[in-house]
Amino acid sequence: MRSHLSVRKHTTATALVLGTALAVAFPGAAHANTVGVTVKTPGATSGPASANSEISTHADCSSGLISGGGISQATGSGNGNHVMGTSPSSDGTTEYTGSTGVVGTDVTHWLGIGGSGGQVDSGFSSTPFALCFSSNLINHTQVVMNKTNAPTTATTVGLVTATCPANTVLLGGGARATPASVGDFKPIASFPTFNNSAHNYGQKAAADGETNPDSWTAVGWANGTNSTNYTYAYAICSGNNINVSGVTVKVRFSEASGPTTASTSQKATIGCSGGDGKLISGGAAISGGSVTTTNFTGPGSGGDHLNGSFPSDSSGNPVSDGTTTAAYWTAFTHTGGSSSPSTYSDVWALCADDGV
């Protein structure tokens, strides 16, 4: 039989071995996600006050860089107000609508552009949101723009995808449609995707739980025919020459049936869960459904539109200026004046861990 002393020696030795193993498994310099986001918004801008026109407003980052942005609209008692753009800007006024490719770096402004159809209402307004991003690793960003002269015929999809440069990571994106003088034309979708065959090169959206999408798709939609319609997609990407091999951007996605009744709206909300990282951007769509498994199809009516894509609380209410804890994204959709069978509302949240 061992003495009590030998047992104590054995126990002490075992503890030292375990302690050494624990020290190896849990080094002192533990991983800490350094991503931070502050939401900035100036509040609502009224309008448009006339048919077939638009108003532009902007949210700005006094510190940090744009990782994405959003827009929330008030519709009053009319059906005419709709999103015309939720997109980055170099100065809060200028738009990226010229040559395609990398169009800006280290952008700090976000546009919220609201358009009107044939109806106007004194209650129309648009509120922009800028997501001001910081990270010890990702200290530079770039904007990639792509565009298409589509749709030019009624109730056909005008889809375009912007893809981040190699060895960068997608942080967010946006959409724009022109001209506003075509009152039935608007973007109805703005979402993360992949430039690969599994997603048909941007025609299928990123699904819930997928990681590190590399592209952003925008979809234009019209209730009539016009040869000058253009749809623009914007991808917000990390800067060049940054080692992003340890970065994880996780997609959260939800799809809800409706709205299908004329002159009604619906909200869909999704959030980042505990291990996903910080909310850095989001997207929204009104669609024909199954957007992550089939090529994007339009909703049931040419008048269907978006009235919002914005950071929110879990109940779908927009967050306030200066919020640093936003964890949810909301899509706000509307049918317009006609019924819309087989229509769905889609929402995406992008959640980031920089691996630092």
Dump pLDDT digits (tens) for 265-284.
Answer: 999 999 999 899 999 999 99
Residue among 230, 235, 209, 207 at smallest CA distance from 219: 230
CA dist., res. 74 & res. 244, Å (int): 39
Dump pLDDT digits (tens) for 53-79.
Answer: 999 999 999 999 999 999 999 999 878
| Per-residue pLDDT at 6 exceeds 70 | no
Dump pLDDT digits (tens) for 23-60.
Answer: 344 444 567 899 999 999 999 999 999 999 999 999 99
Count CB-CB contacts under 10 A for residue 212.
17
Q: Are 190 and 285 in contact (CB under 8 A)?
A: yes
CA dist., res. 285 & res. 346, Å (int): 5
Percentage of residues in the chain having pLDDT higher than 90: 89
Q: Tell me the one-letter amino acid at 200.
A: N
Q: Tell me the one-letter amino acid at 193.
A: T
What does the pLDDT read at residue 29? 52
Enclosing H/E stretch for 6: helix 4-25
Residue among 316, 350, 325, 315 at smallest CA distance from 209: 350
**283 exposed, middle or buried (CB, 10 Å; 0-12, 13-18, 19+)?**
buried
Q: Are 334 and 75 in contact (CB under 8 A)?
A: yes
Q: Strand (E) positions, the chain? A: 36-40, 45-46, 54-60, 65-75, 82-89, 101-105, 109-115, 124-134, 141-148, 158-163, 170-178, 186-193, 215-221, 230-238, 248-257, 265-271, 278-287, 305-312, 328-334, 344-353
Question: Global pTM?
Answer: 0.92
Residue among 309, 315, 263, 284 at smallest CA distance from 73: 309
Q: Are 172 and 67 in contact (CB under 8 A)?
A: yes
What does the pLDDT read at residue 30? 61
* Mean pLDDT estimate for the chain: 93
Dump pLDDT digits (tens) for 153-179.
Answer: 999 999 999 999 999 999 999 999 999
